[in-house]
Amino acid sequence: MSHDLNAAQREAVNTLSGPLLVLAGAGTGKTRVVIYRIAKLIKSGVPAQRILAVTFTNKAANEMRQRTTALLGRRRGQQRPEISTFHSLCVRVLRRHITVLGYPKRFAIYDRADQESVARATLREIKVPGETLRPSDFLYFISRWKMASVRPRKATSLAGTDKEHLAAVAYRRYQNNLKSKGAVDFDDLLLLTEELFEKYPDARRAEADRFDHLLIDEYQDTNGSQYRIIKRLAIGHRNLCVVGDDDQSIYGWRGAEITHILRFERDWPRATVVRLEENYRSTAAILERANQLILFNKNRHDKVLRAARHGGEPPRILQFKDETAEAEGIVQDLKKRLAQRGTVPRDFAILFRTNEQPRAFEMVLRKENLPYVLVGGMSFYDRKEVRDLLAYLKVLANPHDEPSLLRIINTPPRGIGQATVKRLLDLAVSNGKSLWSTLGSPAARAEAGDKAARSIGQFRATIESFRSRVGHDSLSRLVSELIQKTGYTSELSRIYTDPTEREARMASVEEIVNAVANYEKQAQKPTLSGYLEEAALGDRDDTTEKDSQLARNAIALMTLHSAKGLEFPQVYLVGLEEGILPHHRSVAADGDAIDEERRLCYVGVTRARDRLTLSLALTRKKWGKARDSQPSRFLYEFTGQAELLKAKKASAQTRLKATTRRKSRSPARR
DNA sequence: GCACTGACCGTTTTT
DNA sequence: CGGTCAGTGC
């Protein structure tokens, strides 16, 4: 089996017990090693279900599942290794033990929109005006604290600014509000698992005992909670294999700490360390530049990627007048290459730092009639229609789910306006009851007025009649009838007069009906709450959506963040300007934010197999106004001209000179 | 209660 | 510039 692996890969695959750190550079066959290692473990007699592999994204988990199945073969009744994301792992743990923490067994998982709704209500309760602390800022603070396992009490003492102090006070209240609704947010999934393991050693032991081997993918992206959870799960058997690349840590802004991978050997004494340094993906010409660039980072494991593929075209740097010229120039260049024999649209990727960049490219691509996919972008579950219908389902599952109830109580409009809702909410709060219970009370009828009261009555009757059918009728039937009964689609065609938009909205509705039907088909025991959990975790099998997106023969447009783990024969990395890459927020922040931007750039560069083109615009419109752009510092580093940049920094005059000189000749011509 | 208007704000991202 | 949201007039 392992004849097609190199020596380092073989060592990583064959080191079956004890702590193992696999430092896998870009394009060194990391996923392959993980999968082969799982297969090897099983072959050596470890029962498959005693192996747990953890990934960060569903995409990665799906891919790993597929490739493991392909390698092991599909035999009936055969046990499979457990492959899951951190979050769904925690959900399963919490389903078994959460009652000891004072949450209901069937706790709800609140997503970002639900969180905002609770945050808004919380801030209203303690009478914080919107301009003092916005719900989004508030959530940002809490999220930071949670990822560092900071509880409300500690947050109060940590708070420096007034805003933070206010957020710390509201934090406790927010947690209580969630808890009283029997709900947890995404960060809680990790935080509560950690708390459970800390306070209840028996629960920790029971969970740790389920597995003999633990594999963690993308270890460089672990945040504090995840780090501690892993530790507590693996401490008994020490059969912990972590795989990652410190040079590709790009999620620091959401709590990932690169120190975790850097200090693995100290955490786990006598750990084996394997370095995968042979890159099979990119040509030497591309890799040479990547290596040069990443050398500018200080905090990293020492390693140098060696190219298995010699030679290759040196990367080009193209410079344009503005972002429109950039898009046109790049697309023209791409078109020329596409005309070459054996080249197809799928070979190309255009990578960028921010989400506003693809707009110009989309326009040109559409004009040129070239097939493209914007990967990422708005996800299925972000679409308004999907959220609405999901809210209906959530209310059917639990009518006391207030964020969902508020979302649908007047969607489509049925005469229960803002004022009425506000009054009913106040009534509910003063009675200490849920909004749903309040809706049926005589007091509510008096509060709402005749017309609204009638609407409320009808709404309640509809919900109740569907609720009584949950568990009896099929889910997909329930959903389509719900859409009918509420007049949801007729409302859509009323609001959206533009035919293309209307069609898109209708398609979303259709998609959720399909998603439910799909779930019903493949789940062993389909239930409403089961579907909602899958939806909340994004855990659905989206082979239908994203994979077909990529499989479609189209040029891929995506952010550097979503490009991680992928590769393309030809890559255009665009917008290499100060303020974009590196992003201005990272430039302004002190500390090592720039290093993360450099890693991001490195990730982009190492996506390319054969050809790499970097580009920049000299002016760029920002919020409607054109502003001058400076070439990214990474361009200088990458081409070995960092000295020039230092000189530029020393004096504004030289800076001007250097830039004008740059204009006349392309900055990268060696 | 609803639709329309204008002020405001600003972009890495996943679960 | 484009999207979101609160406020206004009907």
Q: Cβ contacts of residue A235 below 8 Å, gap of 6+?
A: A208
The two tokens of residue A534 are: 């899958």
The least confident of A38-42, A46-50, A486-490 is: A486-490
Mean pLDDT of chain A: 84
pLDDT at A501 over 80: no
Q: Is the pLDDT of residue A36 over 60?
A: yes
pLDDT of residue A665: 34
Per residue in A121-170, pLDDT (tens digit) is 787 777 666 556 777 778 888 888 888 888 888 888 877 777 778 888 88
Q: What is the mean pLDDT of residues A421-428?
A: 82
Footprint of strand C on the protein (CB under 7 A): A 130, 621, 623-624
Cα–Cα distance, A664 to A666 (Å, whole number): 7
**Rounded CA gap, A146 and A154, in Å?**
11
- Per-residue pLDDT, A666: 35
Lowest mean pLDDT among A124-138, A285-299, A348-362, A596-610: A124-138
Through-space separation of residue A291 CA and nucleotide B14 C1' in angstroms: 28
Which range has the top average pLDDT, A9-13, A304-308, A404-408?
A9-13
The per-residue pLDDT for A268 is 94
Q: Is the pLDDT of residue A588 over 60?
A: yes
Indicate the DSSP class of residue A299. S
Average confidence (pLDDT) over A296-319 = 88
What is the pLDDT, as a whole number, of residue A639? Answer: 78
Distance CA A436, CA A452 (A): 15
Amino acid A130: pLDDT = 58
Distance A666 CA to B2 C1' (A): 58
Q: What is residue A310's predicted lDDT score, i.e. its pLDDT?
A: 93
Burial of A334 (0-12, 13-18, 19+ CB in 10 A): buried
Which residue in A330, A346, A251, A302 sits closest to A613, CA to CA?
A: A330
Measured between alpha carbons, how far is residue A295 from residues A22, A131, A239, A485 in Å? 20, 44, 32, 62
- A252, A205, A254: which is closest to A93 by C-alpha? A205
What is the Cα A267 distance to its own chain's centre?
A: 28
pLDDT band at A214 (very low <50, low <70, confident <90, very high): very high
What integer pLDDT is reported at residue A209 of this predicted model? 95
pLDDT band at A540 (very low <50, low <70, confident <90, very high): low
Nearest nucleotide to the CA of A120, by C1', is: C5
In the predicted structure, residue A605 carries a pLDDT above the cut 90: yes
Higher per-residue pLDDT: A524 or A666: A524
The pLDDT score that the predictor gives to residue A488 is 85
Measured CA to CA, the distance from residue A86 to residue A425 in angstroms comes to 36
Under the banding of pLDDT at 50, 70 and 90, the label for residue A52 is very high
Residues A214, A623: Cα–Cα separation, whole Å: 48
pLDDT of residue A652: 37
Return the bridge partners of A243, or none.
Answer: A22
pLDDT score, position A216: 95
pLDDT of residue A644: 58
Contact residues for strand B with beta carbon within 7 Å: A 56-59, 85-88, 111-112, 131, 186-187, 253-254, 353-356, 376, 379, 410, 413-420, 449, 451-452, 537-538, 559, 561-562, 583, 585, 623
Least confident among A41-45, A55-59, A84-88: A55-59
**Which of the pair, A334 or A2, is modelled with greater confidence?**
A334
The full DSSP string for A302-333 is ---PEEEE---PPPEEEEESSHHHHHHHHHHH
- Which DSSP letter does residue A632 get? P
**Share above pLDDT 70 across residues of chain A, in percent, rounded to a whole number:** 91
Query: Can you count the helices (H) and strands (E) in chain A?
Result: 33, 18
Catalytic residue (choose from A30, A289, A564, A609): A30
pLDDT tops 70 at residue A668 = no
pLDDT at A593 over 80: yes
Q: What is the mean pLDDT of residues A310-338?
A: 92
Confidence at residue A188, expressed as pLDDT on a 0 to 100 scale: 92
- Whether pLDDT at A373 is above 50: yes
Higher pLDDT, A320 or A493: A320
Nucleotides of B under 7 A from a protein CB: 1-3, 9-15
When mean pLDDT is compared across A73-87, A251-265, A468-482, A499-513, the lowest value belongs to A499-513
* A435-440: average pLDDT: 86
A301 vs A416: CA distance, rounded Å: 60
List all residues 6 or more positions away from A143 whose beta carbon is below 8 Å from its beta carbon: A187, A254, A255
Q: What is the pLDDT of residue A379?
A: 65
What is the rounded average pLDDT of the residues A281-295?
93
Greatest mean pLDDT among A354-358, A648-652, A665-669 lies in A354-358
What would the mean pLDDT of A107-112 be, rounded to a whole number?
A: 84
Q: Are A402 and A181 in contact (CB under 8 A)?
A: yes
Using pLDDT thresholds of 50, 70 and 90, give the confidence band for residue A645: low
Question: Out of A31, A343, A527, A549, which one is annotated catalytic?
Answer: A31
- Tell me if residue A80 is catalytic: no
Please compute the mean of the pLDDT values over residues A182-194 and round it to a whole number.
91
Q: A349: which strand partners?
A: A556, A571
CA of A376 to C1' of C2 (A): 19
Residue A297 neighbours by CB distance under 10 Å = 17
Q: Return the pLDDT at A131.
A: 59
Catalytic residue flag (residue A670): no
Query: How far is A146 from A148, CA to CA, in rounded Å?
Result: 5
> What's the pLDDT at A548?
54
Pairing of strands A240-244, A183-185: unpaired
Q: How far is the CA of A448 from the C1' of C9 (A)?
A: 23
Measured between alpha carbons, how far is residue A350 from residues A288, A368, A402, A522 in Å? Answer: 21, 16, 42, 35
Are A585 and A402 spatial neighbours (Cβ–Cβ below 8 Å)? no
